[in-house]
Structure 1
Amino acid sequence: MRHSTRRMLAAGAIALTGALALAGCSGGTDDGGSSADAGGGADLTPVKLQLQWLPQGQFAGYFAAADQGFFEEEGLDVEIIPSGGDIVPQDALANGDVDYAIAWVPKVLGSIEAGANLTDIAQIFQRSGTLQVSWADSGIDSIADFEGKKIGSWGFGNEWEIFAAMAAEGLDATTVQIITQDFNMNAFLQGDIDAAQAMTYNEYAQLLETTNPDTGELYTPDDFNVVSYEDTQGAMLQDAIWADTEKLASDTAYQETTVKFLKAVIKGWVYAAENPEEASQITIAAGSAWGPSHELWMVNETNKLIWPSTEGIGVIDEAAWDKTVQGALAAVNETGAHLITEDPPATAYSNEWIQKAHDELADAGLDLTGADFAPMDVTLTEGGQ
């Protein structure tokens, strides 16, 4: 795969601008490849992609697609727009501010019920990466052990797996004390939370790159109990690519752009699977603030959530979708609020566009299912450096 420093620096400028000036990031940069011509000399089609967080390995495939020129090969000039919590991706898409957005399925199901007209066109994460982490001697080995405990959650729609899993166990949300935690593990390490929310690719790594004051060595997995929501009835689909439903139905140019965009994204994620070290460096250059060992861990763990994809990367599994919907219907938070109260419309997801992208890449020699994927063994260092 070729490597373009120019593209990497351009992507980094876009992302870093967003990280430093969150509210004003949608303007992007002026070059971003727009001066280049696609094959045949036509101007590149501008596309805005809204991320749901800051640049990091969770989004490595998108930054790799920019860095490696995959978007340009499809005739696209893609501006990758970060968020830091100030931008709700599905709102930006529903408002017409961007062309596509990355967001968790349950969050968008709530927005769809509230009136947003959006479609999941590619389910990039095939499994949940959410954990609830407690100390090894806490006695919290399963969801059933949450009762009476202080359970950490970030909020912002990230909490619904907790409530869906509790509902499946017959537990009332009022039987736990929900503690709002920052996007780190400080409150847990200080003893303010019995079981903290963590992603396999981020906060769990933060624990493993922290020094245990009792031993002077880094914490190890043996120091913790881990409840993985993927192993519960509360598991929900996470990072998906969302598009404008109405434009998908009526705008031919948007339809064509959607397929081209998905083709480039697929190539970006295949690149990240086959070249995790390079992908981690690309995300660092794109503005990630994480250290190199943490970033490599993040890319590696993100790849595990994507690959293997039995039906092909991005294809939405109907059973997993239905499980997410049922969990969303069952979930009731500590205030008695529901995420959704009825089934989403049939337009909430479609495999039409990702399948077209797969069909057009059929002869490209790419491993679209991850049949040959093998994760790395990543050694974390103190502070993720």
Structure 2
Amino acid sequence: MKLSRIVLASLLALTACGTADTPSTPAPGASGALTPIKLQLQWFYQAQFAGYIAAVDQGFYKEQGLDVELLEGGVDIVPQTVLATGKADYAIAWVPKALASREQGAGITDVGQIFARSGTYQVAWKDSGITKAADLKGKKVGNWGFGNEFELFAGMTKAGLDPSKDVTLVQQQFDMQALLKKEIDAAQAMSYNEYAQLLEAKNPATGQLYTADDFAIIDWKTEGSSMLQDAVWANTEKLNDPNYQAQTVKFLTATIKGWAYCRDNPEKCRDLVVAKGSKLGKSHQLWQMNEVNKLVWPAAGAGIGVIDEAAWKQTVEISQTTKNQTGDTVLKAAPEGPAYTNDYINQAIAQAKAAGVDVTGSAFQPATVTLTEGGA
């Protein structure tokens, strides 16, 4: 998943500092010069962030009068903390983790829910008989922890399992080696990353790469325990400033164009990500681009980035009620104040549509990507 690999407790401690005082935002492009913007990403450069990379490369942000600098993430970076402390203008973060930060005082608001769907799987060998959450009973179940485990725990709980008694929980590394070596029965994976690692591995019995037929997937969207993931977060206090409001609409308008570009040009966006310095190979990045597009497109309703109330409520409910192996929940109470708003994304959608951008991608069809050994 490579999103925010910080222990949840550390994340909460880091975000307890709240929102730093920030100067008034200059009107974007008011003087004719580009307004500098910093966007904090969740992790290292990869196709998960291709829409933002494309918006920079294709000049979509500059069209809006913005000079956007992408800040690469890493193991010791919590994006919403960077935003809340005034070191970035916007940040990309999963909704549950960002809400945990809000509960500890970080002044942030979801202004664009770019990923409409969760990409989290639990993967098992096809011959294991594991096809749904209930089948995990009595099995060795890998999970990353660090706040990434709640869809899994919610799915098991919904299936009538007690995660503390009915399964053997195993701390999983951020790869698929434990499953490949059959040290665990089911492994956590993102559709766009770790799952591909399985299909890039060679079956020692045949000398050929594994295929999807070798594995079974539990998709938390199907199980009804999925949670909202990548979103654009803004500084709540600064959203009181009309200039920051206008800047946010401009930023989101260009971001929509970036993601539409990657929907229509996945191979070009793969190349942009590789050129940006990603450590992942070209076939892996094309797989990731294709799978990420599935999480964004088609965009139901008004278009990309609009926060679906039902999905938001499900995310909040799971965050409040689902306990992990240490008995912790993501949230102690429902979010207070402006945790999200569709005001700015709706304005951005209107502007993008006026510029001829397809904001719903209703005709989107994913490609078939052929992976190579190691994702090269």
Mark yes or no: TM-score above 0.5. Answer: yes
- Shift of the 215–95 alpha-carbon distance from structure 1 to 2, 3 Å rule, reads same
Please, which of 216, 232, 238 is the counterpart of residue 223 of structure 2? Answer: 232
What is the CA–CA distance in structure 2 between the aligned matches of 1:212 and 1:50, rounded to whole Å?
Answer: 38
Aligned to 2:103: 113
3-state secondary structure, aligned to 1:128: coil
Please, which of 52, 61, 69 is the counterpart of residue 62 of structure 1? Answer: 52
| CA apart distance, 1:323 | 1.2
Aligned to 1:29: none
| CA apart distance, 1:276 | 0.3
What is the CA–CA distance in structure 2 between the aligned matches of 1:178 and 1:243, rounded to whole Å?
Answer: 36
- Shift of the 351–39 alpha-carbon distance from structure 1 to 2, 3 Å rule, reads closer
After superposition, give the CA deviation of every residue in 1:33-81 in whole Å (9 maximum; x if it has no partner): xxxxx98972211111111111001110000001001111111111111
Aligned to 1:341: 332
Matches within 5 A, 1:304-383: 304-311=294-301, 312-383=303-374
Aligned to 1:53: 43
Q: Any conservation in 2 of the 1:52–1:85 contact (CA below 8 Å)?
A: no
What is the CA–CA distance in structure 1 between the aligned matches of 2:75 and 2:140, rounded to whole Å?
Answer: 24
What is the CA–CA distance in structure 2 between the aligned matches of 1:344 and 1:178, rounded to whole Å?
Answer: 30
After superposition, give the CA deviation of every residue in 1:246-294 in whole Å (9 maximum; x if it has no partner): 111x212211111111011000000000000000000011111111111
Name the aligned partner's letter for residue 152 of structure 1: G
Q: Any conservation in 1 of the 2:143–2:149 contact (CA below 8 Å)?
A: yes
Q: Any conservation in 1 of the 2:29–2:66 contact (CA below 8 Å)?
A: no
Aligned to 1:264: 254
Instruction: Determine if the alignment matches structure 1 residue 205 to structure 2 residue 178.
Output: no
3-state secondary structure, aligned to 1:77: strand
Aligned to 1:173: 163
Name the aligned partner's letter for residue 369 of structure 1: T
| CA apart distance, 1:334 | 0.8
Please, which of 200, 205, 211 is the counterpart of residue 214 of structure 1? Answer: 205
What is the CA–CA distance in structure 1 between the aligned matches of 2:369 and 2:77, rounded to whole Å?
Answer: 32
Aligned to 2:244: 254
Name the aligned partner's letter for residue 64 of structure 1: A
User: Structure 1 residues 127-136 or 112-121, which shifts more?
Assistant: 112-121
Q: Any conservation in 1 of the 2:256–2:352 contact (CA below 8 Å)?
A: no
Aligned to 1:13: none
After superposition, give the CA deviation of every residue in 1:80-126 in whole Å (9 maximum; x if it has no partner): 11112210111111122111111111111212222222111010011
What is the CA–CA distance in structure 1 between the aligned matches of 2:288 and 2:82, rounded to whole Å?
Answer: 26
What is the CA–CA distance in structure 2 between the aligned matches of 1:229 and 1:145, rounded to whole Å?
Answer: 14
Q: After TM superposition, where is structure 1 displaced by more than 6 Å over at least 4 residues in a row?
A: 38-41
Q: Any conservation in 2 of the 1:65–1:264 contact (CA below 8 Å)?
A: yes
What is the CA–CA distance in structure 2 between the aligned matches of 1:155 and 1:254, rounded to whole Å?
Answer: 36
Aligned to 1:154: 144
User: Structure 1 residues 127-136 or 183-192, which shifts more?
Assistant: 183-192
Q: Any conservation in 2 of the 1:65–1:268 contact (CA below 8 Å)?
A: yes
Name the aligned partner's letter for residue 274 of structure 1: D
What is the CA–CA distance in structure 1 between the aligned matches of 2:276 and 2:249, rounded to whole Å?
Answer: 25
- Shift of the 89–178 alpha-carbon distance from structure 1 to 2, 3 Å rule, reads farther
3-state secondary structure, aligned to 1:96: coil
Q: Any conservation in 1 of the 2:132–2:223 contact (CA below 8 Å)?
A: no
After superposition, give the CA deviation of every residue in 1:211-257 in whole Å (9 maximum; x if it has no partner): 10011111011111110111112110111111111111x21221111
- With normalisation by structure 2, the TM-score equals 0.89
| CA apart distance, 1:361 | 2.1
Q: How many residues are treated as equivalent by the alignment?
A: 347
Name the aligned partner's letter for residue 105 of structure 2: G
- With normalisation by structure 1, the TM-score equals 0.87
What is the CA–CA distance in structure 1 between the aligned matches of 2:353 and 2:273, rounded to whole Å?
Answer: 28
Aligned to 2:112: 122
Instruction: Determine if the alignment matches structure 1 residue 277 to structure 2 residue 267.
Output: yes
Q: Any conservation in 2 of the 1:39–1:73 contact (CA below 8 Å)?
A: no
Q: Any conservation in 2 of the 1:309–1:370 contact (CA below 8 Å)?
A: yes
What is the CA–CA distance in structure 1 between the aligned matches of 2:30 and 2:339, rounded to whole Å?
Answer: 36
| CA apart distance, 1:192 | 2.2
Q: Any conservation in 1 of the 2:257–2:352 contact (CA below 8 Å)?
A: no
Aligned to 2:70: 80
Percent identical pairs in the alignment equals: 56
